[in-house]
Structure 1
Amino acid sequence: MIDRSEKIVWLARLGFVARGVVYALLGYLALSSSSTQTVSSGQSGVLGYIQHIPGGVPILFAASAGLLGYALFRFSSAFLDIENRGTDAKGIATRTGHLCSGVLHLGLAWSALQFAIGSKQSAGDRTHDMVSTALGFELGPVALAIAGVALVTGALFQAREAFTLGFMRWVSPRAPTWSCWLGRAGYAARAVVYLLIGWSLLRSAWSENSSEARSVGGAILDLREMGAIHTAVAAGLLLFGLFSLIIARYRIIPDPGRKFHAARQALS
């Protein structure tokens, strides 16, 4: 019988598959000149695209479950430190990033479920609306600036991972040797996208103008005027999707059960 923590591990692996599908499709659609509207909505746009392909509904249900599992995996890393990141400044920063990733993927899981049951028929880029709402609060610009700095920092982290191949320490040695190059291209592409989004939030905070803000899709579309750079980033996102599909099997995922029981005993 499979225990609860092992189910979370398998859900996390399904989450890597779902993440891979989303990124691969996003990169593919970004390379297609006829998919501007879908790309502009980012990951949510990809989920809307899946809704309209044959067999899209069961795929969306599976994606929702997988993205939920991935979110739980990231929450376990953030709160239970199942990957032993530690409590120093670097460890706290990494775990905070995992918390943000968990929140993001929890939202994507909900969106996938809404598309699957048909309560959501189209995806749109709501970045400007959300930023405009944030700017309506007294400390809104400060919060946006903090988010912008966090994303720029995340971009630097992604770039470092691409350069050092640090992400491979969480991948089993049994993985294909060439998979590291897929991951390297993907992390480099994500670094560019994160940098553009972070910089756009900093500009929005400075000017108090929501039109400066960019989502993932908006950042990709902004690169279209740069020709080869846009192609390289789109291809990198596609390759990151393929990398995620591969490491769904080979990713080292610690059992969250031990940490959970240890935390429960410490509180009792």
Structure 2
Amino acid sequence: MTSTIDRITPQDGKGWLKSAARAGYAARGFVFLIVGYFSFRAAFASGEAMDSKDALEVIAGSGFGVALLAVMVLALAAFAIWRLIQVFMDVDHHGKDAKGLFVRAGLLISAFSYGGLAFYATTLLLGSASEGGGGGGGGGGKTGAIAYAYEQGYGVWLTYLIAAGMAAAAIAHIVKAAKAGFEKYMAIPGDRRWLLKPVCQFGLTARALTFVVIAGLLATGAAGYSSGDTPGLDAALQEISGWSFGWLFLSLTGLGLIAFGIYSVMEAVYRRINMPDVPDVG
């Protein structure tokens, strides 16, 4: 069996692509570690849960904000590109049957999501640089395609479609957690599997819960999002905090999102990265 180092530093011209993909998984993990931590803290103290954009703003406001944001921009962009490679070149062999196309559609949505997050990190980076590293500003409402759809009169149906996609993603995450389907793509050492497997399963389940809540918020409020300001992860966490025993659910979800962050970092280390044929570089 090849070692972890051999997998991370392959002796071929695709090593730079594999390293970029791993950096992307690590960046995603870093974001969810921050989101999970603040969600857990919000369950026991006055404060608000945050989403991935808020996590980037925390990074921007840190002592090494500019440098960390520059790394996050590159890593998140690399992750978006890796998702596109997974979609269009089918390097994980999902196939073209209904299940395979469903998985690849989800990966495509993920590509756009993390591409948008990389763009947002870029705006924070430019703002931090222009202010001498003083941190980025807050983001505006969720505009763009959804807002345009509402202006054209079909925003409600688009919102319902997104809600259905969120619900489907939740089901996929639950199945992936229950069957430990991620192990097919990861080479977790046997002596660490007893700990890392349940952590990954817990993280995927918590992520599924946020998808379910977002889907519910979207479906019940679709007619009211005339501005295109549809709910995201932060709204889902706020909704959970308002449930009976919401502090308990929010704290568990926060821990779960931390676990999802760990899962992403584990993917950065142990995932089998299959690359298409590309010209050698260097």
Give the TM interval when normalised to the shorter protein: 0.7 to 0.9
The structure-2 alpha-carbon separation of the partners of 1:80 and 1:35, relative to structure 1 and needing over 3 Å to count, comes to farther
| Offset from partner CA, 1:103-131 (integer Å, 9 cap, x none) | 11111112222222326822336248875
CA contact (8 A) 1:223 1:230 kept: yes
| 1:35 Cα offset (Å) | 7.6
1:11 and 2:26 matched:
no
Residue ranges of structure 1 left out of the alignment (5+ in a row): 262-268
Aligned partners of 1:109 and 1:217: how far apart in 2?
Answer: 18
C-alpha spacing 1:67/1:109, structure 2 compared with 1 (3 Å): same
Write the distance in 2 (CA, Å) between the matches of 1:128 and 1:31: 28
Decide which of 207, 211, 217 is 1:190's aligned counterpart: 207
Match of 1:103 among 98, 103, 112: 112
Query: What are the within-5 Å matches in structure 2 for residues 234-245 of structure 1?
Result: 234-245=254-265
Cα RMSD after superposing both structures: 2.5
Could you list the runs of 5+ residues in structure 2 that have no partner in the other structure?
Answer: 1-9, 129-134
For residues 93-112 of structure 1, the C-alpha deviation after alignment (integer angstroms, 9 at most, x for no partner) is 10011011011111111222
Match of 2:154 among 122, 139, 152: 139
Counterpart pick for 2:267 among 225, 235, 247: 247
Contact 1:197–1:213 at 8 Å: present in 2 too?
no
Quick one: distance in 2 between partners of 1:151 and 1:97?
A: 9
Identity of aligned residues (%): 25
| Deviation, structure 1 residue 2 | 7.5
Cα displacement (A) at 1:3? 6.3
Q: Which has the higher helix share?
A: 1
TM-score, normalized by length of structure 2? 0.83
Alpha-carbon shift at residue 196 of structure 1 (Å): 1.1
Q: Distance in 1 between matches of 2:107 and 2:27?
A: 17
Partner of 2:174: 159
What are the within-5 Å matches in structure 2 for residues 81-92 of structure 1? 81-92=90-101
2:76 aligned residue: 67
2:5 paired residue number: none
Candidates 213, 216, 225, aligned match of 1:199: 216
CA-to-aligned-CA distance 1:189-244 (integer Å, 9 cap, x gap) = 11011111112222233x34459942111111111121211111111001111222
Task: Give aligned pairs, total.
Answer: 257
